[in-house]
Amino acid sequence: MAAGLFTAPIFVLLISTLAFGTRPGWRRVGAVALGFAGVVMVLRPGAEGAGLVSLMPLAAAVLYALSGIATRRLCGQESTATLLAGFFVAMVVWGALGSGLLTLLDPAVPEGRAGFLLRGWVAPDGWLLLSITGLALGAVIGVGLLTRGYLLADASLVSGFEYSMLVFAAFWGWLLWGQTLAALDAAGIALILASGALLTLSARRMERREAAGAAGVAP
């Protein structure tokens, strides 16, 4: 099911093309498709999670794609700091409401990771609090850079680079926990890297075309 969330760049392309008439070009379309193929090779989604639950990551991908497009088209006059503050304030508010509601309702919670979403407030110990603080700082930096990217470039271009998340996840998994890659994982990561290279070439080509147009020269 995790692969469903990584369909967001595909939905960005579809929504941008159908709703706004954007022409991403065959290079960008091919790069996004190549990156998604790499994601599928790494995650290897199976049929064991088929059903309505498996549609939840797809719904999340559609909403995420809409947020990326909205950032570019509706928030161009806003600063990165303003958007970043709004994002995390909303997370705090909705997170507090959800945690409080679960604490009051006190539903039956499965043991272990399966009960993560249904578990109410749990006071963290010192190490967990330190870990959460580090993750929060990393999230602020990462989301800030991502938001800035969506403000500066077309959403269909920026979204494709998000496939690189799996590459860095593999690196940190190897560095911190000694996890190794299977041959299929390595091949998938190679496709993701190739996707990023194609997107970079597409961006440079677009920059040259815009520069030529601004100078009054045919691209």
Q: Quick one: pLDDT at residue 157? A: 77
Confidence of residue 110 (pLDDT cuts 50, 70, 90): confident
Of the two residues 201 and 176, the one the predictor is more confident about is 176
- 126 pLDDT higher than 60: yes
CB neighbours (10 Å) of residue 184? 11
CB neighbours (10 Å) of residue 3? 18
Q: Quick one: pLDDT at residue 46? A: 65
Per the prediction, the chain carries an average pLDDT of 81
- 122 pLDDT higher than 80: no
| Nearest in space to 4 (alpha carbons), one of 72, 67, 51 | 51
Distance from C-alpha of 54 to C-alpha of 85, rounded to nearest angstrom: 31
Confidence of residue 210 (pLDDT cuts 50, 70, 90): low
Q: Are 4 and 58 in contact (CB under 8 A)?
A: yes
Q: Quick one: pLDDT at residue 93? A: 94
Q: Are 138 and 88 in contact (CB under 8 A)?
A: no
Tell me the HSE value of 25 on the side-chain side, using a 13 A CA sphere: 13
Q: Quick one: pLDDT at residue 101? A: 87
- 18 pLDDT higher than 60: yes
DSSP count for the chain of H helices, then E strands: 9, 0
| Residue 121 backbone zone (phi > 0: left; psi -120 to 50: alpha; other: beta) | beta
| pTM above threshold 0.85 | no
DSSP 188: H
| Nearest in space to 102 (alpha carbons), one of 118, 80, 116, 79 | 118
What percentage of residues in the chain have a pLDDT greater than 70? 88
Q: Quick one: pLDDT at residue 9? A: 81
Segments making up each domain of the chain, as ranges? 2-214
